Copies of this chain bind each other. A is one copy, B any other.
Amino acid sequence: MATSTRSNAHHPGATMRNLNWSATEKAVARKAFDLALQRDLEAVMAETKTKAGKVRQPSDLWELERYLTERRKHIDRQYDFRYSVFPLVFADLIRQGRLRAEELRGLAEDKLEYIRWHSRL
């Protein structure tokens, strides 16, 4: 496996895009994707309520606007729903604490290997 990881590291993208996802794996991936997205959105909803509650002066309004714009763009960029890039998406989500490795249980070793590799980058 160490050899395989080292070999993947040379052309990780090309091989990653050719991975085959079984129907079960697709279901696991979609569930994990939706779970992380839901967590992200709930965090933004909670933070928005906190920030709005603390608005005391006009500059706080525009700071809230910037926060929302930044979060919307980040979420749009991060949650790329294509199986071909899911390993990268999941690796990022694990690094950011939005997903735990055990929530990807059910994916085959070829995907997990990519996810582990990228989440440690």
Contacts and interface: CB of A to CB of B under 8 A. Distances in A.
A103 B62 CA distance: 29
Interface stretch (A14-22, A42-50, A107-115): A42-50
B72 A62 contact: yes
A49 B45 CA distance: 13
A64 B58 CA distance: 15
A41 interface: yes
Contact of A48 (B41, B45, B52, B69): B52
Interface residues of A, number: 19
Interface string A56-99: 00101110110011011000000000000000000000000000
A79 to B, nearest CB: 11
A65 B58 contact: no
Contacts of A55: 45, 48-49
Nearest to A54: B49
A41 B65 CA distance: 14
A53 B62 contact: no
Contact of A65 (B49, B53, B60, B69): B69
B72 A68 contact: no
A65 B61 CA distance: 10
